[in-house]
Amino acid sequence: MKCPKCGIENGSRSVCLKCGNFLNNKNVQRETDPEIKKQMQRTRRRLVLKSCTSSFLLMIVAFVGISALMFAIFYFLFRDMEWPTDAELSSEMASIQESEAATESVPAQTTVTIAD
């Protein structure tokens, strides 16, 4: 297609390579009847609302589906695991505290050497 502004041949492009002019200048007729305009606006609003609602519902379904999948994965990974009892945990905690108290009571010995 030849550009009407600069005369360059552009093939099947819709924008001129040289000047950037739009090559498909179609005269679009706009609706002037106010009743038809209102109807078109209502239709447009309805379509936007429908697409937003469907997107929101899709996100909720995806969230629930991913949550269920993660629950199933963690359930099957950890269902046969032997968890420590409260007595085992408290005895382990006491031994850790005793070992920390023992290391705190021993003063650290540092040696300083002075080079001549």
> What gap in Å lies between CA 53 and CA 59, rounded to an integer?
10
Residue 20: name the closest of 10, 30, 35, 32 by CA.
10
Max CA distance (Å), the chain: 102
- pLDDT computed for residue 57 by the predictor: 97
> For 13, left (φ over 0), alpha (ψ -120 to 50), or beta?
beta
Spell out the per-residue pLDDT of the chain, length 116, in tens.
788 888 888 888 888 888 888 877 565 567 778 888 899 999 999 999 999 999 999 999 999 999 999 999 999 998 888 888 999 999 999 999 998 887 776 555 666 677 66
Which pLDDT belongs to residue 18? 84
CB atoms within 10 A of CB 16: 20
